[in-house]
Structure 1
Amino acid sequence: MRLKYFIIAGIIIVGLAMPLQAKNIYVRGVTKITMRTGPGTTNKIVAMLLSGTQLEVLEYKKDWSQVKTDSGKVGWVLTRFLTEEVPNALVVKQLRKENINLETALAASRDKVQTLTSRNQTLTQIEKKYRALQKASADYLKLDAKYNELLKTTEEQKRQIQTLQDSLNEEEKLWFLSGAGVFIVGLILGLSSRKKKSSSLLS
């Protein structure tokens, strides 16, 4: 029976002295606590830890905990001065850091929005100019087609005018020749009648 109790007690003692899985823990709301070389007040002090200091727990042993600082220093502190709750000071510090990060991200987002807005305005202006050029090009093509059509019509009208003018010139020539013929015939007839009158008077 006693052997059974000894075995159970041994398991409990070994369990208390076993290393634990490393986890973060913090110094409670006291000004400072001592870190010693071993689990006891008679051991040498190796550091003074401020309230809110983050520690990594390596091992529990009765009322003491073996911890490790961020700088890598290892020592023992009283467990009652430790807590798993993040101190308010660290919470505030973390929130301030997150707030700064959010403000930075917000400023970057605003700059990005401003840049995108400026690019959008530029694209809108380019699109308007493109549409204006497109419309002008369409109008130019229409005017060019109309000009070519008018040019063809003008050339046709010139040919018609030239044809009419040539025809009129031919008619004028015919009228001139006809008039000249009539004049010559009249002249001949007049001369002939004068000769006849002269002959009758002489006889």
Structure 2
Amino acid sequence: MAGLLILGLTAPGYAKDIYVSGVTKITMRTGPGTEHKIVAMLTSGTKLEIVEFQRDWSMVRTSGGKQGWVLSRFLTEDVPKALLVKQLQDENQRLTTALTSARETVNELKAKNDTLTGIEKKYKELEQASADYLKLDAQYNDLLKISKEQKDQITALKQNMNNEEKLWFLSGAGVFIVGLIIGLSTRKKKRSSLLD
């Protein structure tokens, strides 16, 4: 039965994991048949990789890389119960460790949560006590803004005054120069008319 199962699942070049079935020990030989030399004794539960299948014999490879032929009827695809028990024990140990770690994490988080709750309570007390400070700070910022706007207006007005003073100065200078030119030109005309 096991041979048919393995035959149905194996093809040339197809490697599959199998196990030594419930017998105590089986022989691994150099060829397919009892007349071939024994190269190893395999115990029940040994994990093997099936490499080739011929009638009642299968060529297998151990996890250590040793190859040989064994009787197919002593092989099974089912994981042996002893190996399953070991795997389940390992999984149980892993889960127990994870649970312990999770409980420690929960305790740490609980302590941090308590600390944060205390900090939040103190923060609310400070927030309530500092409400007036926040109002004063807002008023101060508003006054700073108004002060800056007024300084900007004063600077603009001073600039306008300076520009107007320059304009008046230039206007006065212009009037003076125009007057001087007119005065000089009328003097020349008077002289020339006197000479004529």
Would you say same fold, with TM above 0.5? yes
The whole-number CA distance in structure 2 between the counterparts of 1:34 and 1:141 is 88
The whole-number CA distance in structure 1 between the counterparts of 2:85 and 2:11 is 35
Q: Which residue of 2 aligns with 1:132?
A: 125
Query: Does 1:75 pair with 2:76?
Result: no
CA contact (8 A) 1:20 1:57 kept: no
The whole-number CA distance in structure 1 between the counterparts of 2:117 and 2:11 is 71
Query: Does 1:59 pair with 2:52?
Result: yes
| Equivalent residue for 1:106, pick from 89, 96, 99 | 99
CA-CA distance at 1:118 after TM superposition: 1.2
The residue type equivalent to 2:48 in the other structure is L
CA-CA distance at 1:141 after TM superposition: 8.3
Q: Which residue of 2 aligns with 1:29?
A: 22
Query: Does 1:119 pair with 2:112?
Result: yes
CA-CA distance at 1:18 after TM superposition: 6.1
**What is the count of residue pairs matched by the alignment?**
126
CA contact (8 A) 1:20 1:60 kept: no
CA-CA distance at 1:140 after TM superposition: 7.7
SS at match of 2:33: coil
The whole-number CA distance in structure 1 between the counterparts of 2:134 and 2:40 is 90
Query: How do residues 8-23 of structure 1 correspond to structure 2 at under 5 angstroms?
Result: 19-23=12-16
Query: How do residues 164-183 of structure 1 correspond to structure 2 at under 5 angstroms?
Result: none
| Equivalent residue for 1:41, pick from 34, 37, 42 | 34
Q: Which runs of 5+ in 2 are unaligned?
A: 1-9, 136-196
CA-CA distance at 1:138 after TM superposition: 3.6
The residue type equivalent to 1:83 in the other structure is T
TM-score normalised to the size of structure 2?
0.60
The residue type equivalent to 1:91 in the other structure is L
**Hey, which bits of structure 1, 4+ residues long, moved more than 3 A?**
138-142
1:43-90 deviation digits (Å, cap 9, x = unpaired): 111110000111100011111000000111100000111111111001
CA-CA distance at 1:115 after TM superposition: 1.5
The residue type equivalent to 1:110 in the other structure is R
With over 3 angstroms needed to count, the CA separation of the structure-2 counterparts of 1:18 and 1:113, relative to structure 1, is closer
The whole-number CA distance in structure 2 between the counterparts of 1:124 and 1:54 is 56
1:128-182 deviation digits (Å, cap 9, x = unpaired): 111112223347889xxxxxxxxxxxxxxxxxxxxxxxxxxxxxxxxxxxxxxxx
CA-CA distance at 1:116 after TM superposition: 1.3
1:82-110 deviation digits (Å, cap 9, x = unpaired): 11111100110111111111111111211
Q: Kindly, what percent of the aligned residue pairs are identical?
A: 64
Superposition RMSD in Å:
2.1
Query: Does 1:85 pair with 2:60?
Result: no
CA contact (8 A) 1:32 1:49 kept: yes
TM-score normalised to the size of structure 1?
0.58
Q: Which residue of 2 aligns with 1:3?
A: none
